[in-house]
Structure formats: C-alpha cells, structure tokens
Structure 1
Amino acid sequence: MHAGCGTLVYDGSGYCVKHAGDAEKEWIKASDESGRGGRPWRRLRDQVLRRDGYLCQCEDCAKKPVPLVAHEVDHIDNTRGSDGRLSDDPDNLRAINRDCHRRKTQREAAAGRKGGVGRKFG
C-alpha cells in the first residue's frame, strides 16, 4: 500500500491504479540493494546456516554439549567499511540462535553507547 493513499484495493496487490507503478519501483529497488532481506542476502544466509549445520556458533553455545538451533546469521565483526556497510564475507558470518543474537546485539549497543563501536563480540 502506498503511504498516504486511502484507496481500498481488492485485487490483492496492495496498490491502487494510481500507485501501481510504485510497487514495481519498490520491488526493483529492494532487489538491487545489497541490504539484508534481498535475494543475495537470503542465499548467503542459507549458505552460512548450512555450513554451520544450523547450530549456534556463539561463544556461549560453543561451551555447551549441544548448542542451540540457529535461526539467524550474525556478523562476527561489526566494524563498518568506508562505504558504511558491514562485511558480508562468509568468514565474518556465523549461524546464531535468535536469543543469543539478541543478547549479543544488546551488548554491542551498550558498548556503542560507551564509545566502543565496531568491536568484536561473542
């Protein structure tokens, strides 16, 4: 649905005739960007999850006899390049459990507030 348009649409597209072209533009833009959620990221994510056996690779799970199931992919080093993006090199990615990822992100956010942005965290 186009922001600000109140036209009801019944064809399932989510866009009225006036804004139908916007849907195509948004789809093309989303697929061309290398952000998280596009097809290239989904392929890489699936590759990393398979490589790691769908098991969490965080430091806490590495100490467990049976690691937790991984649902997500984590950037090990969150240092951003000159282009402002995180490195999607497979060596910088690992499978991680959703709850473990949330905890890691919270630790990173806290460190960022204290001036430790761009550090590696487990």
Structure 2
Amino acid sequence: MPKSETVIVAENYQKEILLLKKVIAELERQSRKHNRKNVESVQAFVETNCNRRTNKEMKMVDFYKVYKTWCHLVGGMYIFSQAVFRYYLENTLAFQTRRDSDGYVYILEVALFSIDELLTEGD
C-alpha cells in the first residue's frame, strides 16, 4: 500500500529536523571551542605581558587598551568588551580591583613587563 502524502511529508520533515540537529550540534561544538580559545587568549595575554608579583597597580582602562592592542598585534582574536574582560580577570584569574575616589577602577598587584624584561625572559 503506497504511503500517503502526509506520511511522506512528515518523514521528510523528520529527516530535515535530524539534519538540522546535527548541524546545530556541530556549530555549538565549534562555538565552544572558539570561545575556549578566546578565553585562553586573555590568560595568554596576562601570562606573557604581566608581572603579578608586584605591589604596583594600573588603571583598568589603560590595562584594557594594552590588551586590545595586543589582540590586534597577535591577530585573529576576539576582543572582549571591557566589562567582560574585567569580569574574567576578577572571577577566573583572581585579580583584585578597587575603585578610587577619582572614579577609576584600578587593577592591583600588576605591572606590564618592560621591553627589556620581555627580551631577557628566555635567557
């Protein structure tokens, strides 16, 4: 007995839905991988450019500008908004911050490596 048109349409929709679910699952997997890489890039920025063993502090806005410049120079990296960047620093990398009477947020116990420090790091 031949299938009714309704059954054929329903089977085709089921096949399309299954295909779409596979495509969505792959896109989600790629997105998670991409996001993990981007988050790791913030950590890489800190590890390669920052001295966390200091009593110095830096304005968050200036620290963020250096991060953005670094991302452009390295290339191919998603640049987080300043708010997300700060959240990641405080909540994942355990940076301490404070708001001063001037209204600026300061990141504590951090200094950028100088060019000389970066050049002699491997020696």
TM-score, normalised on structure 2?
0.29
TM-score (norm 1): 0.29
Larger strand proportion, structure 1 or 2?
2
Name the one with the larger helix percent.
2
